[in-house]
Amino acid sequence: MKVCGSQAGQDAFNPKKGSISARTDADLTKYDDYLKSASADWSKDRLVGSTVHGVNGNNALMAKYNAAVGKYFSGGFKDNAGLAKDLAAAYEAGKA
């Protein structure tokens, strides 16, 4: 972990993997143009967690969210209004 988490370790691994460093002191000369751009974005933009991965909601919200999305995609008819209603109910359940 000491090596992997170091600046040198991150700067050796991440450009080859195609990802940006978790460190703010990365040597961006070692990264391609896309990764330089992504690193700049991550340093200034507001980060928003992934609802799909459970970052934005508690268990109650996630249970209702998954049920709503499952119901939407399992039926033959895509009920957009019903999905919106079910997602709003999921959000409300997560506030409790």
pTM over 0.85: no
DSSP helix/strand/coil, 18: coil
* Phi, psi for residue 50 in degrees, rounded to 5: -90, 120
The DSSP 8-state label assigned to residue 6 in this structure reads S
- Going residue by residue through the chain, which has 96 residues, state the pLDDT in tens, using 9 for 90 and above: 899 999 999 999 999 999 999 899 999 999 999 999 999 998 899 878 888 888 888 999 999 999 999 999 997 788 999 999 999 999 998 887
Distance separating alpha carbons of residues 50 and 88, to the nearest angstrom? 17
- Which of 23, 18, 43 has the alpha carbon at shortest distance from 9? 23
Place of tokens 């970052």: 55
The two tokens of residue 44 are 């200034």
The two tokens of residue 36 are 């330089």
